[in-house]
């Protein structure tokens, strides 16, 4: 599951509007909208503010090594 899908699902399960989520996380409504739309360049500190409400944080995950080389 992509992060934007995870956050959108968690927000809906918590019965929060985007505006309510933004207020609770201390970020702007525009940020929440962009986050849920899957914008690729976002500030990680703000992403973590939102994820913290759901008991999560950004972390490194393994990728398919066939698609990655040094």
User: Residue 48 maps to which CATH number?
Assistant: 1.10.260.40
Residue 24 lies in a domain: yes
CA 27 to each of CA 34, 49, 67: distance values in angstroms, whole numbers, following the listed order: 12, 8, 34
| pLDDT value, residue 7 | 96
| pLDDT value, residue 67 | 59
Q: For residue 42, what are its two tokens? A: 């976002």
| pLDDT value, residue 54 | 95
Residue 18 lies in a domain: yes
Q: For residue 27, what are its two tokens? A: 């970020």
Residue 70 lies in a domain: no
Residue 7 lies in a domain: yes
Q: What is the mean pLDDT of residues 65-69?
A: 62
Q: What is the mean pLDDT of residues 17-26?
A: 98
CB 4 within 8 A of CB 38: yes
Residue 62 lies in a domain: no
pTM beyond 0.75, yes or no = yes
Residue 27 structural domain: 3-57
- The number of folded domains in the chain is 1
């Amino acid at each position: 599951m992509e992060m934007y899908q995870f956050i959108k699902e968690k927000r809906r399960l918590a019965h929060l509007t985007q505006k309510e989520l933004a207020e609770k996380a201390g970020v702007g409504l525009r940020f929440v909208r962009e986050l849920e739309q899957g914008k690729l360049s976002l500030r990680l500190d703000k992403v973590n503010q939102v994820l913290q409400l759901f008991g999560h944080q950004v972390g490194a995950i393994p990728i398919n090594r066939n698609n990655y080389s040094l």
